[in-house]
Amino acid sequence: MTTPAAVDLLLIEDDSAAVELTKRAFERAHVTNPIATAADGAEALDFIYGTGSHAERADAPPLKAIFLDLKLPKVSGLEVLARLKSNERTRAIPVVVLTASAEAPDVQAAYRLGANSYLVKPMDFEKFAEAIRLAGLYWLVVNKPPL
């Protein structure tokens, strides 16, 4: 059995342009942690729990952070969040909601389900890059996760 590649951060986003912008923002912020992506909620859950097409990850170390869009195909971002926070194995992984929705019901639902942070994607790339830089710095460098 091969050991899965170490991944620190999972970006769950169905828009390929948003994935590229986010990766570029992380690179620009000198975030060098290994990043994986999932294009829908079902793929994200398989990746996180090492099931389905990601069965090789069953024994992978836990992620350091998850950046989660809310509007996802197959399994919604809120459902992914609910499953993560209701599972003892994944409850402590910081989840940063990164979405275009600034709607109060979405913000309230995300925090009620256990989101650690909620960022609205700014339309301007410079502001977006700064938001990603700050979030990445905090969750991957500054934050002290449980042992």
- The pLDDT value recorded for residue 4 is 53
- The pLDDT value recorded for residue 1 is 39
Q: Mind listing the pLDDT tens digit for each residue in 39-76? A: 999 999 999 999 998 988 888 888 989 999 999 999 99
Position 5 confidence tier, pLDDT thresholds 50, 70, 90: low
Q: Mind listing the pLDDT tens digit for each residue in 73-122? A: 999 999 999 999 999 999 999 999 999 889 999 999 999 999 999 999 87
User: What is the reported pTM?
Assistant: 0.88
- The pLDDT value recorded for residue 38 is 96
Separation in Å, CA 78 to CA 53, 90, 125: 22, 15, 25
d(CA 138, CA 112): 22
**Whole-angstrom Cα Rg for the chain:** 14
Position 147 confidence tier, pLDDT thresholds 50, 70, 90: low
Is residue 15 scored above 50 in pLDDT? yes
Domains of the chain: 9-142 (3.40.50.2300)
Show the DSSP H helices in the chain as ranges: 16-28, 41-49, 77-85, 104-112, 125-137
- The pLDDT value recorded for residue 2 is 42
